[in-house]
Structures are given as structure tokens and as C-alpha cells.
Amino acid sequence: MNVTNFLKHHYRHFNAAALIDAAEGYNKHLAEGGKMMITLAGAMSTAEMGIQLAELIRQDKVQIISCTGANLEEDIFNLVAHDFYERVPNYRDLTAADEQALLERHMNRVTDTCIPEEEAMRRLEHSVLKFWEQADKAGERYFPHEFFYQILKSGELEQYYQIDPKDSWMLAAAEKNLPIICPGWEDSTLGNIFAGHVISGDIKNVHTVRTGIEYMIYLAEWYTNQATEESKVGFFQIGGGIAGDFPICVVPMLHQDLQRTSVPLWGYFCQISDSTTSYGSYSGAVPNEKITWGKLGQDTPKFIIESDATIVAPLVFAMVLGQ
């Protein structure tokens, strides 16, 4: 029994049934000529979401990605330093002294997974700094994801690859030159590193890395060119936070701030979240709340799966991929 048949047989009710509905809605949206944005919150790359996301990219089942700065860099950290990662299955039992011991070994913990600073972060810093400095001296400016594309396409990291390259979603995205939105990139390890190099004078122009407002302008242009009544753009949100909230606002911005009345609303919406509905919570808000903000319409297919994205997203992706 393949994954899809297993899910359809066993996942019949509650959040399980919502998973099936969302996956079938995703496939229906694509079959009708739609496009899809996937948003990645938190540290989904360290959860190795790239194993299936890369295949979605290769099969043209996602046309644009919005993600945190952590997700951009952590996919590449995993690509070049996977063998040095350490898993801590008993992370809930760690004492403050245990955490201090990890710090002293330069092992940065993300839930049950420790990222090795020297082999991952400093290795990538060594490469990216060269590209930052080259652009800075030439008076050129690029988005964070464009710098990563330059590094990956240069081939200089290939000597360090420690996973099958087909499992890196950033490599797959670079090969397709996939549009990426990375709001709040400054809140990332390399964002901090970039700030340090500006302070130390290695980078003269702080705007050598393009900003979040420019990302919104870039997204507005992309959406205007890509979204039509015959080919609407869907929104598949993994987690909450800025990776989802920032890009979904492009539609009301185009309508309300630019007075462009012909721009279609998002044509599909699904969120995987374990955030419960509470007063003022955006991540836990039900999809219908987005109607009042001009993001979704009354008839937009809407799904919410209240569960752990690291469990649910690979299953949805498996159905979308026909596995």
C-alpha cells in the first residue's frame, strides 16, 4: 500500500480528514491551472523538510516560497555539515549545565537537533562573505536568497556536501531560479553575521543585502504578473509567524494601498499549525478571519490542520507528489 492509499484508508476524521481534504484541494488547485506559494516558518529545514520540498520544486508543484532566514541558511547548513549534527532525543530532560556543555562544544540546539557552529555556520560564512564583499565593492545589491543562489551555483561548496544533493530544497530552488521571499532575514544567524561585518567595516554599504520592504515590492510585482482569474495563486502555510503573515498581505496591499481592483484574492489556503485560537493570535486565527482583511474570499477553499508540521507536511506532500 502506497502512502496515499494508506492515508485515504486510515485518515477519515478530525485533523486526519482535514489533511486529506487539504492535499486533495492542493492537487485540484494545480490541476485547474493554479500556482502555489509554500511558506516555511521556524526551522523546518533543520527538520529536513527539504527531502520532499525539493521534489515538489523539481515537479513544478510550487512556484514561489516564503520562509524565515533560518530556513534559507539551515538547509545549506544541513547540506554541508550533516555528518557533524547531533541528535538529542532526551532534550526535554537537559539541565542548564547540560545546555552550557553544548554551548562550550559550539553545538547550537534546535529542539532535538544540534547544529555544529564551525562545520556549518562558519563554513558558510567563509563563502558568503566573499560574495557580500564582491557585491559591496561593485556597488551591487542582492536579496538574501540571491546571494545563496550565487554560492550554490558557483560550486564552491560541493566539496563539503554530506547529504544527497537531491534532498536540498535550496539546491532545487537555485536550479529553477525559484522566486523566494525572506521577510525578516535580519533575524537569522547570517543576518547577525552580516551586521557584524558591517560594524567591523568589512562591508561598507548596509544595503548590499536588499531589505524586507524591497521583498514586498518584488512580491507585489510577481503576484501582479502571475495571479489571474484563470490561474490564481494558492497559499500553503507551514506554521505561523512572519513567513506567512508577510506574503499573504500582498493582496490587501495591492487592493487597498494601490487601489488595484482587478487583482485576484488568494485562490486556496491551508495552514498547518499547532497554535491554538486565542485572543489576538494570528497564527491560531481561523481562516475566515482573513476574509475581513481582504486576503481570502468567501468561496476560497480553506483548510486548517491543527497538528505538528513535521509530521503532517511530509504526508500532505506525499499525496501531492502521488506517492
DSSP track, 158-206: GGG--S-GGG-HHHHHHHHT--EE-TTTTSSHHHHHHHHHHHHTSSS-G
With b meaning 16 or more CB within 10 Å and e meaning fewer, what string describes 289-318?
ebeeeebbeeebbbbbbbbebbebbbbbbb
Residue among 52, 29, 5 nearest 312 (CA): 52
Measure the CA–CA gap between 169 and 313, rounded to whole angstroms: 14
Report yes or no: 234 and 34 within 8 Å, Cβ to Cβ: yes
Report yes or no: 283 and 250 within 8 Å, Cβ to Cβ: no
- pLDDT for the residue 280: 72
- pLDDT for the residue 277: 72
With b meaning 16 or more CB within 10 Å and e meaning fewer, what string describes 147-158?
bbbbbbeeeebe
Measure the CA–CA gap between 276 and 304, rounded to whole angstroms: 11
Question: pLDDT tens, position by position, for the chain (323 residues)?
Answer: 799 999 999 999 999 999 999 999 999 999 999 999 999 999 999 999 999 999 999 999 999 999 999 999 999 999 999 999 999 999 999 999 999 999 999 999 999 999 999 999 999 999 999 999 999 999 999 999 999 999 999 999 999 999 999 999 999 999 999 999 999 999 999 999 999 999 999 999 999 999 999 999 999 999 999 999 999 999 999 998 999 999 999 999 999 999 998 999 999 999 998 877 767 777 777 899 999 999 999 999 999 999 999 999 999 999 999 99
Residue among 210, 228, 273, 254 nearest 22 (CA): 273
- pLDDT for the residue 285: 79
Measure the CA–CA gap between 222 and 315, rounded to whole angstroms: 29
Report yes or no: 254 and 294 within 8 Å, Cβ to Cβ: no
Residue among 218, 200, 91 nearest 136 (CA): 200
C-alpha neighbours within 13 Å on the C-beta side of residue 302: 15
Measure the CA–CA gap between 121 and 79, rounded to whole angstroms: 12
- pLDDT for the residue 309: 94
Report yes or no: 128 and 151 within 8 Å, Cβ to Cβ: yes
